């Protein structure tokens, strides 16, 4: 999908969790639409490779290591990203972890870590980016929530809590920041065919003694469209929300769920 009026030419975008999956796909789509991007990830090597690849294609892409749970590190990286790009007007706080487990067996540490990465990490990125986006005259923040942030999923209490929290942040900050010319939205994907998801299903298959493809087939059956989403499809939705095509959209969380409806 290519938008004729995406409005990203000259935009300066920071994307967390850009080492692979949806974050990497979003970085590429933003570059294709004329944006400058700074890619951040806990895996520095992954974002450096992607930035080099995009740079080799003539795009402006920078890479910085980032632990989104470290407030001081987030502040330093956001400031450096703005310096590298000549400002900051678009943020995609995408970094996240997928944690599953029954409530009796899920450790408090795993629960807290999920909230720290998915929810607190989103908050910290926004907290440090807002003054720079405001100084740029406004812009867009597109968070990455989940279908599991709209509807509860069994054995996913930590993940659901974190993503419901992201939706709450979006609704709150849209009212708080839209008057400053900063739109705040989110995408809420269902299952996306990423290495993180495949790794999760491999772990589940080992635990259950089944086959990965059997678990994938059962997951796909939940979606009327007949397949999982691709990272590029979610990236296209993020691109839309960040672009001028969504100039009157703020506070919304847009499901990307292939026709599935709530039970």
Tokens 């998801």 appear where? 197
CB 54 within 8 A of CB 36: no
Edge-to-edge, what's the strand order for the sheet holding 12-16? 61-65, 36-41, 12-16, 90-93, 139-144, 182-189, 253-256
What is the number of other CB atoms lying within 10 angstroms of the CB of residue 240?
Answer: 18
Tokens of 109: 């540490």
- Choose among 30, 15, 22, 10: nearest CA to 239: 30
- Choose among 144, 128, 124: nearest CA to 25: 144
CB 95 within 8 A of CB 73: no
CB 184 within 8 A of CB 91: no
Catalytic residues: 159
**Strand (E) or helix (H) holding 101:** none
Residues facing 188 on adjacent strands? 255
């Amino acid at each position: 999908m290519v938008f004729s009026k995406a409005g990203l030419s000259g935009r300066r975008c920071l994307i967390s969790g850009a080492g692979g999956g949806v974050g990497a796909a979003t970085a590429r789509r933003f570059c294709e639409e004329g944006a400058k991007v700074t890619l951040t990830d806990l895996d520095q090597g992954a974002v450096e490779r992607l930035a080099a690849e995009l740079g080799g294609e003539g795009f402006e892409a920078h890479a910085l290591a980032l632990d989104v749970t470290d407030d001081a590190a987030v502040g330093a990286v956001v400031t450096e990203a703005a310096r590298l790009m000549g400002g900051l007007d678009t943020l995609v706080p995408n970094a996240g972890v997928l944690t599953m487990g029954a409530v009796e067996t899920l450790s408090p540490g795993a629960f807290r870590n999920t909230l720290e990465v998915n929810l607190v990490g989103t908050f910290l990125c926004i907290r440090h980016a807002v003054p720079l986006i405001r100084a740029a005259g406004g812009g867009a923040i597109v968070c990455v929530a989940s279908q599991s942030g709209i509807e509860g999923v069994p054995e996913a209490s930590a993940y659901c809590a974190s993503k419901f929290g992201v939706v709450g942040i979006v609704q709150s900050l849209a009212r708080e920041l839209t008057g400053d010319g900063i739109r705040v939205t989110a995408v809420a994907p269902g299952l996306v065919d990423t290495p993180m998801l495949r790794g999760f299903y491999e772990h589940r298959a080992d635990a259950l003694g089944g086959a990965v493809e059997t678990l994938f087939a059962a997951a796909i059956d939940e979606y009327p469209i007949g397949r999982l989403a691709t990272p590029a499809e979610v990236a296209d939705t993020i691109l839309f929300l960040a672009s001028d095509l969504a100039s009157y959209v703020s506070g919304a969380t847009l499901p990307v769920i292939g026709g599935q409806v709530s039970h």
